[in-house]
Chain A
């Protein structure tokens, strides 16, 4: 098995990560740094640093240490020219003085063309590789899981917690970033403990261990967001145990970024878990006892440990060639590590030759997840609670945490404060963004003194590691520079999920749906070549291709429109009349069966929120329609009022169960009479009446309305019959050259009648007085929603009034939204405008300041004169719709 690495074959072994395979093959420089193109090698091998980001099969910024090597993968390194091994752009490393911190705020500001040019260059020479924009996005699923207890981390503490929680009768899920529990732990007591606990967990049916799944965020709920290989998991546990472990502190000293310098656990992982010898001669810096085990692991792998540099109290007896109490103060080398300078506790310095340095520094908790828990039911254990725990402590703490989670005890435990740490005076603070101690100090001198400001100005903590290595160091420098204000300047910066970089397509997992609501006739419309548009949550028909022909058919012959998107409600129950009297501002109690009335719906402020019709049915029930986008909202609104008033009413939303079509035009009656034996004549079935009739064998509620200003019948019937009904109407209408019509034609037809569309011609301040609909309000009723506000509003003259307007023939139709002026002063805006075919000139509706909103008045729309009309443009007496 092999991978293709920059044009050559590299052999891989089972269980290899890409980093291990490449290192075994001799690769030492894995990347070039973000800004200065400094060579970078493997460092943490835990996915926490930016040093091993490579491009794998076209995907940029893959962590080589976390990516399993697979046969046939194509791998290359990033951010170098012409190659990572010989990077000409490394010359930038010699130009530090030209690129001070925040240089992009300071330089190339003048002349103006300089920055766009510079920006282009910077974008090419800095960064983290180039993504392949031609790649089709991968469709990533979102999966929900509901364990009782979620354990994050399958180390000693995590597995112990899972076993204890399961023993408490809980269903437990364990997630861990590694391919198997302990996969990156070198052989030794810790590995043995993990293997033992993992075997116990695997045999427990109450525990599900999901390896290769990384927690990247904790949210309210609680909900934990986790990334798996091919899906994103939303995990909804009742309790969370965080056993996310710890990591060694990033130590800062001159040349601390040279290839060959490892974190202690990283070097041990490479040697002990992957069987790859990191180098020939090592120095181990042991700030804590665990590092001595790392030294032993290196020795076991055949590495000569030249010296173990210990902190006071750490016993390295017998390990390595020499033991020196002190610390590392400098690394030597140009492209790779050649030696280290040691300063003993006595103050002497000594240079020791080596090709690897393993820094077994103080253990700090992996702070990102613990910092996200706020008031959620979480408990921390292992290194997440007690960084540097011994093996037995971790196991014991884990058991306690699992038992507490199972018992449902108060779980929230304050995460240990991330304490400011000491920080060297030279070297790289931020490996991701290439920021040195000197640059941070310079930023402080410029006035960016707190960690929060430093973060934004220097970009420290804002790279791929998200502050894992550098956040505490940044705070330490701020504290050192301004000790008198230590608490303020070193306050922790805010952490937000995701705690690891994720792909955009992962962020979009599960959000692929663009939900369209369709009437049962939708497919039929598409088959007829209709174009659609969004109308609220619905996809409605805009036109069938020839709007004018559709319009002409309705005005002169007959047309049919699908109005199935109307909200349709059946209201019934002992208190239904009382309920409707309170819901609507017009009178309902006097509506006799068979009659209907137009009704506005108002909110408490008297603002119009919807409109429709109310039909009184036999037996005391009512059938009400509302606008296309209003059904769901108004259903909730009515149910809320029902509960508030305690009335015994049933509100049944029949929007989807009933289809509706409107047959309109001078021949509408003739057409329907061909399909129905019921009398449809004017005397038997007049305007503003409804009847139950049978059309094409289907029982329909037929309503005589006139939104488009012609003789019209609106038919409401079971949705299952919609297609047959539609086809039958079109067939029967052939005699009059019937046309189906869409919203484009309907909007002109209604505009010629001066009918408003709620939310197009109205806004969040529109009450009935402003749109001259006093006739739709009965203030003498005892009460209705919005009455009190309307009474108050009646005492004031509205600032603006909605008026119809028209222009002279030959003038261009102004667009909707165009401003209205009078005498050069802003005086309103157009809400609707169309060229009227029947009148031959533009017509519309507009808000106009009330003092000028008088019939016959002249306004200016887009520089052209228009006249305010006092009534409907078409059939103002309503003779046609009453025909």
Chain B
């Protein structure tokens, strides 16, 4: 049975810049990475790591001057995780598109979920869904509704490593 939890305060940092500059970024340990477009990439880190993540990425892009931009977007998106066997079934009730297949590593994708724009990380038996914070209540209700017929339960996020990338990485500020 799948579980649903929200990772409150998960760090979300958006980087803008030339493709070559973004291609050259080193993914900080303990983060998820998603390439939105050639000129935008996002990193998601454990709660409380946004400032450190911004600092790290600004450092990496410092040589780009005003041709690059690093923005802390932590408050702008909610981060929900569907975890466990059957999580795809919950997703299938709230999205009409086909999830990419993960061989174990997180696969980043975008598409509408619960009728709103979403950014997703897909792993075996885990789907992380980021949607706008302004529709947080709606998405939470929709996911719970979708899950109740497959015995999904909403639980508290794990205290340790809620985004599921390991505990090694960016220092918690």
Binding site for B on A (CB under 8 A): 139, 141-146, 223, 230-231, 234, 236, 510, 512-513, 515-520, 538, 570, 572-574, 619-621, 648, 650, 652, 654-658, 718-720
Contact = CB atoms under 8 A, between A and B. Distances in A.
Contact of B69 (A236, A519, A573): A573
B114 interface: yes
Contacts of A520: 75, 133
B16 A573 contact: yes
B164 to A, nearest CB: 22
Given A144-B96, A518-B136, A719 B66 contact: no
A719 B96 contact: no
A141 B150 CA distance: 11
Contacts of B66: 572-574, 619-621
Contacts of A231: 149
Contacts of A621: 66, 69
Given A517-B134, A520-B133, A657 B149 contact: no
Interface stretch (B23-31, B121-129, B138-146, B154-162): B138-146
A144 B95 contact: yes
A267 B145 CA distance: 44
B62 interface: no
17 contacts: A141-B93, A143-B92, A143-B93, A145-B92, A223-B96, A236-B96, A236-B97, A515-B115, A517-B134, A518-B134, A573-B16, A574-B67, A621-B66, A650-B16, A657-B75, A657-B76, A720-B9
A231 to B, nearest CB: 8
Nearest to B136: A518
B16 A236 contact: no
Nearest to A512: B145
A171 to B, nearest CB: 11
B133 A657 contact: yes
Contacts of A512: 145
Contacts of B73: 654, 657
Nearest to A657: B76
Given A519-B134, A573-B69, A656-B133, 17 more contacts: A141-B93, A141-B149, A142-B93, A143-B93, A144-B96, A145-B92, A513-B142, A517-B134, A573-B16, A573-B66, A574-B66, A621-B66, A621-B69, A652-B14, A656-B75, A656-B134, A718-B75
B93 A510 contact: yes
B92 A719 contact: no
Given A515-B116, A573-B67, A719 B76 contact: yes
Nearest to B131: A656
Contacts of A657: 72-77, 133
Contacts of B89: 143
Smallest CB-CB A-B distances: 7 pairs: A657-B76, A719-B75, A146-B98, A650-B16, A517-B134, A656-B133, A656-B76
Interface string B38-69: 01100000000000000000000000001101
Contact of B134 (A513, A538, A573): A538
Contacts of B145: 139, 512
Interface residues of B, number: 37
B68 to A, nearest CB: 9
A146 to B, nearest CB: 4
A656 B98 contact: no
A513 B115 contact: yes
B172 interface: no
A574 B16 CA distance: 12
Contact of A516 (B40, B93, B133, B137): B137
Nearest to B39: A650
Nearest to A221: B96
A815 B75 CA distance: 41
A652 B95 CA distance: 26
Contact of A655 (B14, B92, B116, B134): B134
B75 A144 contact: no
A652 B77 CA distance: 13
A443 B132 CA distance: 59
Contacts of A570: 69, 71
B11 to A, nearest CB: 12
A658 B76 CA distance: 7
A574 B21 CA distance: 15
B105 interface: no
Contacts of A620: 66
B135 interface: yes
Contacts of B39: 650
A719 B12 CA distance: 14
Which of B67, B74, B133, B137 has the most C-beta atoms of chain A within 10 angstroms of its own C-beta? B133
B67 A652 contact: no
A520 B78 CA distance: 12
Contacts of A141: 93, 146, 149
B7 to A, nearest CB: 14
Contact of B75 (A223, A648, A720): A720
Nearest to B9: A720
